[in-house]
Structure 1
Amino acid sequence: MPTMNGTRLVLALATTAALLSGAPAAQAAPATAAGPAPRVLHAAPDGSGSTCSPGRPCSLDGARDAARTVHGRDVRVELADGTYTLSKPQELGAADSGRGGHTVTWTAAPGADPVLSGGRALTGWSENVDGTWTAKAPDGVTPRQLFVDGVRAVRARGDSCAAPVCDATKAGMTGARATGIADWARPTDAEAVIRVRWRNYHCRITAVSGDVMTFAQPCWTNSASGTDRTGPAWDTTTVDSSRYTKVSFFENARELLDQPGEFVWDSAARTVTYLPRRGENMRRAETVSPVTENLLVLDGAHDLRVTGIGFAYAAYLQPSTDEGYAGMQAGLTLTGATGPTDHAGRYYTKPAAALTVRGGRQVVVDHVAFTRLGGAGVVFEQGTQDSTLTRSRFTDLSSGAVYIGDTEPMPAAELAGARNTVSYNTIRRTGVEYTDAVGIWAGYEAETVIDHNTLDDLPYSGISVGWGWNQPEARTSVLRDNRVTNNRITNVMRVAYDQHDGGAVYTQGAQPGTVISGNYINRSAYGNTERDGNGIYLDEQSSHITVTRNVLTRVGYKWVSNWADYGIDNHATGNWTDTAAPALTGTGSTMTANRTGLDRLPAEALHVAATAGAGGRGPVEQLRPDLARAGTATQSSTDGTATADHATDGDTTTDTRTLAEPGAWWQVDLGDTRHVGQIEVWNNTSMTTADFDVQVATTADFSDATTLHVTGKALRPTLLDTDREARYVRIKLSGTGRVALAHVLIHP
């Protein structure tokens, strides 16, 4: 079996305490009476000895077997430096656990950076006349991801295809002729990638007949309506729903291979063809594809620690099968051709993870690096309790980083997840391929602690706790007493990925005693095209939740949202934010003592924001003074309710709106000539303000105006740098229509 040179990988995955400085010490092993020193066993990538000594290290299996023979003391299995290429998961169970108050630890040897890898090297690259390079895939390897010198390549993809052309139905889709797919050499290797609100679908084309494409089953059926298994009866986010607007792109066709860093897999020839980026030398490059799922599985293990080990190139095989990826929410998928009728998501499937803990007790995962994965990072499931994931790093994952718990609302006692902790971890650039995935997901869990984590650059929600939507199962479940505290969540709900209706912190279901506190949330759904990206989103039947002392800034829509009247007894108090939001809906819900509409964060808020996250003190984006809110706003006309001052009231949820008319305008008089450095234009709900001029002038007749033109629809926000002295700012349509705005900020 080919193996890769692990030098670059080991360097890239070095797990240094300095990266996550400021975190507390990892959970200590259970205290024991004075006794013999731990038995230390040694493993190495090329180990084969039977004594597991430094001179004759064991293989991983050999170290596992040797550890089972040790009684009456702690055990340390120390992994030497290098890459451990796995063709199957390394499994540890009850027999590999600590006994009699002792602990078994799998860890890096002093000074070593061991990496468990599910990758296989692709070698023998040859150059083609068009500048691409091709290599044969080893037997058993079906590349879905490719990493070149540690950098993720992209499956060759085309442009989006709007719904009128690529019309999706329960049976398939039109558009084969217009997109050129009808003429592709191998259309049956290609997939359609579709994003509808919070859902993401990847289904392979199985046939093209004329203009019609059909797709792999059950992927397509599970992505369409009519199965009675895809979620609540009211849901309209399937591929054939009214909310379907386009195919985001088709991918994996030779005809689409036109950008450096793209590759394509040919299943008939069993070849990968790649177009190198500038500076890449394919004769010397290390090219790796994930092949093996679930690198480490702890099944029924207890009193066991995993520390200082890297995980890389783990695969997620399901999306490349006929099951495909019928994403339902948060990275969970609907699988199987048949199944129980269910509207509460009880039978959805979690993604494959590099490290899986099933039914664990007192399991500690600490200082572990997860990178370049084809699926998720860590799963705690099937009744895992009293276990921790701390001070670990997740980056460049196709799916989400962490999944805690399951989707059964009332599990048997032995399958109920409880008292698990996820703390001081760093999560960046996850959900790269499956953009509906979240950073940290917890299902029906009790007393979960999600604390002092740093999450950044995610396509959808950051932290999600709870399940069940508005279904009866979500009203009474094991959900309770969860804590989402002191996390730093920035640049989530990224608009470029077209995933909507989420939040930096997202909840579902009644969960008495749950607290969301001390979090710093900045730029959630910032730059959004729709008014549905939230800071803290108490969705559906979220109930009995306290939201307190959070700092939320530059959020695309509401800083806190509880829109459903069947979400009850929620309380938001003592938070700081630069916008406002409607009162919480639902019986017994309250909003008190919140500091809203701020254009500067006070010292106490700055301290809360700076101390949130995994790294001690972190940067905080201070708000900028807003000149518009002290000015006088007017507009060319009004319908009587959406008045001009709604754009200067510090609230992104209220709108101005003129009548539809030629040259409609909105403007603000600052009262005196001031330096205007930048203008933010936030569009309203319907995004009706498009193709407009922003005029900046010192005179009321705008005779000395500087004019900036915006083509297309305004975002939330559209930013315009001006850098001039002015008293008046006007937003004026180029043609006929409405000016409709949620927010206009003018910064000196």
Structure 2
Amino acid sequence: MRHGLAFAALLLLPLASHAQTLHVAPGGTANGTCDASSPCTLQSAQARVRTLRAQGRNDITVQLQDGTYRLQQPLQFDASDSGSYGHSVRWQAAPGAHPVLSGSQLVQGTRNGVLWSFALPSNDAPSSIYIDGQRRWPSRTEACPHCVVDAKGLSKVPPAILHSLRVGSLAVMHERWRDFRCSVVALGRDRVDLAQPCWRNVTLDSVKNGWSVASPVGKYYAGVDWFENLAGDPSAPGGYTVDTAHHVLRYRPLPAEAAHAPSIELPVLEQLLVLNGTLKAPVHDLVFSGITFAGTEWRKPASADGYVPLQAGYLVDGNSRAALPDNGEGMTRIASAVAVEAGRDIVFDRDSFQHLAAAGIALAGGTHGAAVTNSRFTDIGGGGVFAGDTEGHPVDPASKTSDIVIADNHIDHVALAYRDNVAIMAGFVNGLVIAHNTISDLPYSGISVGWGWDYEGEAPVQSSIHIVANRIERVMLQLADGGAIYTQAQSTPGTSCVVRNVTDMRHSGEGNGIYLDEHSTYFDVERNVVLGAWISAWASWSGHLRITGNWTDDAGKPHNAGPTKVWSPNFTHLITLPAAALAVQQAAGARDHAIALGLPIHVNRMCPAP
């Protein structure tokens, strides 16, 4: 086991003598024979895999040739698409190929004076488009710092802003660790009414702990950041508006684009790949390797529910709540391009997630054994990787996700639209390794694990949480009350740790290097390099925390000593790092040649040695 990682690192089993390879290509046909000379479609290959598996065939590989596969609907997998236990079905890039599963359409436009015009397939206003691989955002207004909040929406909206709005425009604002979007449903003389229940949930207060500070009715309210989905023509280069009545998008090109042929990539699908098993019939033994997932849309923020997060991409919907946050159960999660529900032994290795409207991948709903390794996440509207669930004590213990490995990934420039999201977000998980990831350039936290605050009682709600040897920098660039590594909730004693990570907050916004928030209990935090900030464990209801052997250039004072918190020895006020800290710094982050995980996937109960 390299670097003491607490999971099995077995090589994938070699292909048996009766192994079979199916070949697919963007130009493949439904009646192709799925061999190299007559490749078939993805859907035809999926049907062939099901037939072969029903015949008892094992060790099947679906090989994707180079090019872009434009999906008309998401690929849906269930138990019938599974491998056999110990013999995975592999969906992988052909040697030297870089296949892209895309949910976008290539749309050609026309010139209309200085503008480009594009016919849209529906009256939806896309949340972003792409030109030459670069994301373009809808036109925005200036900020409205003096907009006044009331029960129906916002008043004292300046005329210059009001005249650019229409029904369907979105009001965008953030408060502390939360980011909000509600659509305009009516315009008045100096005001806008905002969609319900979106606006009600935005301003909803909490039972306790003062969550109103993180809403527009709290003391940190600084107005509306901007409105988007505007009326009229775009005024600034690089922006667009949509005439929803006539299904026309108008784009004002940047000077360097003006001579180009008008064309855009228009994201349409909300998901690309869905693995949906059940607890009794899980989808299992699948490997996806060398594939790029790109080009998704997400329409929910324009709905009546809007976008109202509780924290980190988990959302408050509907009219059912009288106060927040309760225990955080019953929340919906931001959409993801790839979703795994009730999976067993699922691996994503050396894949790429980019140009996505919402999140990258989610492993949840009673998934037991899944890994995301050696992959790249960038240019994503929401979070990179989601794992686990928000129910602390489910009736069926099997519905709580377990044995998840997220390792050796590069994750940066995510949460571009939904700023409360993080690179890696885990709810309640029994057995989670987050190791050797390189994470940077985020509006909020880098890694967040746990849920429930102090609402889940005194019994453990998670176990074997191992956050090991990650490198995190340039985070907390827009929001507040977070950190490079953030934890919540009570773990099973003696099983969870934060060790050998490097968190560099010197070029970040205000935040903590490691933030053991609220009810974080039974974590060992050892031999981390924490620069430009320190470790916080402020809540009196957190405890049984061992915070020792860490290096920092900070003063390193205990935030809240508490009777069950060990805060020494640590190495503080450092001007230069000692050799042991430099060794931790050198080893942290994604490794270039990490070995892919084999099956089955199992997380060791105990933490690796610090």
TM-score, length-scaled by structure 1? 0.73
The DSSP-based 3-state class of the residue aligned with 1:547 is strand
Are residues 1:395 and 2:378 paired? yes
Residue type of the alignment partner of 1:547: V
Asked if the contact 1:188/1:205 (under 8 Å) is kept, the reply is yes
Q: Give 1:236 deviation, angstroms.
A: 2.7
Aligned to 2:116: 133
Counterpart selection for 2:170 from 171, 176, 191:
191
CA separation of 1:540 and 1:425: change in aligned 2, threshold 3 A: same
Aligned to 1:610: 586
Q: Which runs of 5+ in 1 are unaligned?
A: 1-22, 618-748
Q: Give 1:581 deviation, angstroms.
A: 3.6
Aligned to 1:385: 368
Are residues 1:55 and 2:37 paired? yes
Are residues 1:38 and 2:19 paired? yes
Counterpart selection for 1:90 from 72, 75, 99:
75
The DSSP-based 3-state class of the residue aligned with 1:569 is strand
Asked if the contact 2:170/2:302 (under 8 Å) is kept, the reply is no
Aligned to 1:465: 449
Asked if the contact 1:156/1:263 (under 8 Å) is kept, the reply is yes
Aligned to 1:586: 562
Asked if the contact 2:203/2:212 (under 8 Å) is kept, the reply is no
Higher mean displacement: 409-418 or 428-437: 409-418
CA separation of 1:524 and 1:340: change in aligned 2, threshold 3 A: farther
Q: Give 1:132 deviation, angstroms.
A: 3.0
Larger Rg: 1 or 2?
1
1:322-721 aligned within 5 A: 322-338=304-320, 343-411=326-394, 412-471=396-455, 473=456, 475-494=458-477, 497=478, 499-512=479-492, 513-523=495-505, 526-528=508-510, 533-555=511-533, 559-583=534-558, 584-615=560-591
The DSSP-based 3-state class of the residue aligned with 1:68 is helix
Q: Give 1:419 deviation, angstroms.
A: 1.2
Asked if the contact 1:291/1:314 (under 8 Å) is kept, the reply is yes
- Superposed CA deviations along residues 291-317 of structure 1, whole A, max 9, x for unmatched, are 101200111211110001110012222
Asked if the contact 1:524/1:534 (under 8 Å) is kept, the reply is no
Q: Give 1:157 deviation, angstroms.
A: 1.5
Separation in 1 of the partners of 2:259 and 2:301? Answer: 28
Residue type of the alignment partner of 1:236: V
Aligned to 1:173: 154
CA separation of 1:157 and 1:139: change in aligned 2, threshold 3 A: closer
Aligned to 1:210: 189
Aligned to 2:599: none
The DSSP-based 3-state class of the residue aligned with 1:570 is strand
Asked if the contact 1:424/1:453 (under 8 Å) is kept, the reply is yes
Q: Give 1:182 deviation, angstroms.
A: 3.4
- Superposed CA deviations along residues 300-341 of structure 1, whole A, max 9, x for unmatched, are 211110001110012222112222111221122111233586
Asked if the contact 2:490/2:521 (under 8 Å) is kept, the reply is yes
Separation in 2 of the partners of 1:205 and 1:106? Answer: 44
Residue type of the alignment partner of 1:151: Q
Aligned to 2:296: 314
Aligned to 1:10: none
Q: Give 1:234 deviation, angstroms.
A: 4.7
CA separation of 1:43 and 1:140: change in aligned 2, threshold 3 A: farther
Residue type of the alignment partner of 2:536: S
- Superposed CA deviations along residues 31-89 of structure 1, whole A, max 9, x for unmatched, are 47x84241111112222225212222221111011011222320001111111111211
Q: Give 1:501 deviation, angstroms.
A: 0.1
Q: Give 1:196 deviation, angstroms.
A: 0.2
Asked if the contact 2:123/2:246 (under 8 Å) is kept, the reply is no
CA separation of 1:44 and 1:364: change in aligned 2, threshold 3 A: same
Asked if the contact 1:136/1:271 (under 8 Å) is kept, the reply is yes
CA separation of 1:239 and 1:87: change in aligned 2, threshold 3 A: farther
Percent identical: 36
Residue type of the alignment partner of 2:287: R
Counterpart selection for 2:239 from 230, 237, 262:
262
Separation in 2 of the partners of 1:578 and 1:563? Answer: 20
- Superposed CA deviations along residues 487-532 of structure 1, whole A, max 9, x for unmatched, are 01010001xx2x100000001111232100111111267354xxxx
Residue type of the alignment partner of 1:334: V
Separation in 2 of the partners of 1:24 and 1:109? Answer: 31
The DSSP-based 3-state class of the residue aligned with 1:247 is coil
Aligned to 1:631: none
Aligned to 2:604: none
Residue type of the alignment partner of 1:42: H
The DSSP-based 3-state class of the residue aligned with 2:497 is strand
Q: Give 1:150 deviation, angstroms.
A: 0.6
**Matched length:** 575
The DSSP-based 3-state class of the residue aligned with 2:77 is strand
Counterpart selection for 1:290 from 242, 253, 267:
267
Q: Give 1:169 deviation, angstroms.
A: 2.0
Residue type of the alignment partner of 1:435: R
Separation in 1 of the partners of 2:226 and 2:211? Answer: 27
Q: RMSD of the TM alignment (CA)?
A: 2.4
The DSSP-based 3-state class of the residue aligned with 1:244 is coil
Aligned to 2:109: 124
Residue type of the alignment partner of 2:404: N
CA separation of 1:29 and 1:190: change in aligned 2, threshold 3 A: same
The DSSP-based 3-state class of the residue aligned with 1:481 is strand
Asked if the contact 1:104/1:305 (under 8 Å) is kept, the reply is yes
Asked if the contact 2:313/2:421 (under 8 Å) is kept, the reply is yes
The DSSP-based 3-state class of the residue aligned with 1:43 is strand
Asked if the contact 1:315/1:352 (under 8 Å) is kept, the reply is no
Q: Give 1:114 deviation, angstroms.
A: 0.9
Separation in 2 of the partners of 1:276 and 1:390? Answer: 38
Q: Give 1:401 deviation, angstroms.
A: 0.2
CA separation of 1:442 and 1:83: change in aligned 2, threshold 3 A: same
Separation in 2 of the partners of 1:193 and 1:420? Answer: 34
The DSSP-based 3-state class of the residue aligned with 1:187 is coil
Asked if the contact 2:501/2:528 (under 8 Å) is kept, the reply is yes
Q: Give 1:256 deviation, angstroms.
A: 8.6
The DSSP-based 3-state class of the residue aligned with 1:105 is strand
Q: Which structure is richer in relative contact order (CA contacts within 8 A, separation 6 or more)?
A: 2
Separation in 2 of the partners of 1:297 and 1:83? Answer: 19
The DSSP-based 3-state class of the residue aligned with 1:122 is strand
- Superposed CA deviations along residues 600-626 of structure 1, whole A, max 9, x for unmatched, are 122221221122111459xxxxxxxxx
TM-score, length-scaled by structure 2? 0.89
Separation in 2 of the partners of 1:264 and 1:596? Answer: 53
CA separation of 1:585 and 1:266: change in aligned 2, threshold 3 A: farther
Residue type of the alignment partner of 1:534: N
Aligned to 1:157: 140
Aligned to 2:597: none
Q: Give 1:24 deviation, angstroms.
A: 13
Asked if the contact 1:393/1:427 (under 8 Å) is kept, the reply is yes
Asked if the contact 1:260/1:277 (under 8 Å) is kept, the reply is yes
Residue type of the alignment partner of 1:538: L
Separation in 2 of the partners of 1:123 and 1:355? Answer: 28
Separation in 2 of the partners of 1:487 and 1:481? Answer: 17
Separation in 2 of the partners of 1:138 and 1:527? Answer: 41
The DSSP-based 3-state class of the residue aligned with 1:156 is coil
Separation in 2 of the partners of 1:345 and 1:142? Answer: 31
Separation in 2 of the partners of 1:566 and 1:454? Answer: 31
Separation in 1 of the partners of 2:320 and 2:163? Answer: 34
CA separation of 1:258 and 1:578: change in aligned 2, threshold 3 A: farther
CA separation of 1:180 and 1:196: change in aligned 2, threshold 3 A: same
